[in-house]
Amino acid sequence: MSNSTSLVKFRQQSQDRFKAFKSHFISYLLITSGTTTLIMLFLVGASHYPSVKALLTMLPFNAEELVQNLIFGCIGLFAIALGLERNTDSINIQKGLETQAKALEALSKNVAVITEMHNHMMHNSKKLTSHLEMANPLKFPDALTNAAINLLDPVLEQLFHDEFRRKIEFFSDAIKDKKVNFSDKDLFCKVYRNWLKLYPDSTIYATSSPAATYFWSMESEPNTKIEDIIVEFIKGGGKMIRVFFLKSEDLTNQNTLSRMRKHVKFGVDVYYSLIQPTSNVRYFVVDKDERVTFRIDIRPDRTMRDFGCTLDREYAKRHKEEFEELLDKNYTFKFNL
């Protein structure tokens, strides 16, 4: 009789403990799923702001993928809660826990992904938080822009200055890959001048076209052409080595020869190559110390098409080596007056 009473008492205590555990766990699930829902609503609502939408692309994960994982996570959490609800009988406690353990195991991958994404989000949001907390809702995009600028590499910020405020599409590549692609010729002149001023004693390697349709007539500001910037750079102690890609007819073209003579007078070490640019031989400008590289794409008629600026050291190293190899080729020659 005593043993029977003890068994009933033990089963009752076990059942009471499980009910308490279930109550606390379901409360935890409700709080977690509620927080998850708020995050989902924030992501969906914030995406209506163009500035926020652009910033979401800078995060080291896909925002849509995060929402999907959060949804799956909510479904899994409610499934666990339902499993708890259906296994309140003390006799089926073990079976219920085993079922829930399997559900948790199946959910663990999504939970791990969500946790990792959350950590990345928190890391990249530290500089945004102070701005957002103080921001006037009417100036929300400006606050985000200011915060995003703080995430930029200082060199890119010095090269492009206020362009990041005017062209928010620059942010994604600039923050993730330290590069900016653009097609504005005037902007190229400004950035080119900022670059030479930033590294006044550097050695510059450049491949170019002698055609007037190249960037020789561009101006970084009124009455200040690219060639004026080059003269200023060399007078300040910088060095420039330039290889002009020539066609056979260029060798007798007076405009071409005049351009090359002019650069020699500027103090540029001038070479010319009788090979035309390909996927392996391109128009670019890079400093010898491999800090900044400009890519210059031109059309068949030698007019400018678009530009790229990157701080990628490996990219700069490849272009520097490409340039040095070009100088050693038997179809590349030194040009003298």
pLDDT of residue 334: 96
Structure tokens at 206: 């450049």
Q: Which residues pair with 219 in a beta bridge?
A: 225
Q: What is the DSSP string of 115-135?
A: HHHHHHHHHHHHHHHHHHHH-
Tens of pLDDT along the chain (337 residues) come to 555 565 556 566 656 666 666 666 666 666 666 666 666 656 655 555 555 555 555 555 565 566 566 666 656 655 555 555 554 444 455 565 566 566 556 556 555 655 665 565 555 555 444 444 444 443 445 666 666 777 788 999 899 987 877 776 777 788 888 999 999 888 898 999 999 999 999 999 999 988 877 877 666 566 568 888 999 999 999 999 999 999 888 889 999 999 999 999 999 999 999 987 765 558 999 999 999 999 999 888 778 889 999 999 999 999 999 999 999 999 999 998 8
Residue extents of the structural domains in the chain: 2-141, 180-334
pLDDT of residue 299: 84
pLDDT of residue 178: 92
Distance of CA 242 to the CA centre of its chain: 31
Q: Which residues pair with 205 in a beta bridge?
A: 241, 286
pLDDT of residue 25: 63
Helix axes 226-235, 185-198, angle to 10 degrees: 0
The dihedral sign for the CA sequence 182, 188, 193, 195: positive
For residues 175 and 159, give the distance between their C-alpha atoms in angstroms, rounded to a whole number: 14
Q: What CATH class is the domain 180-334? A: alpha beta
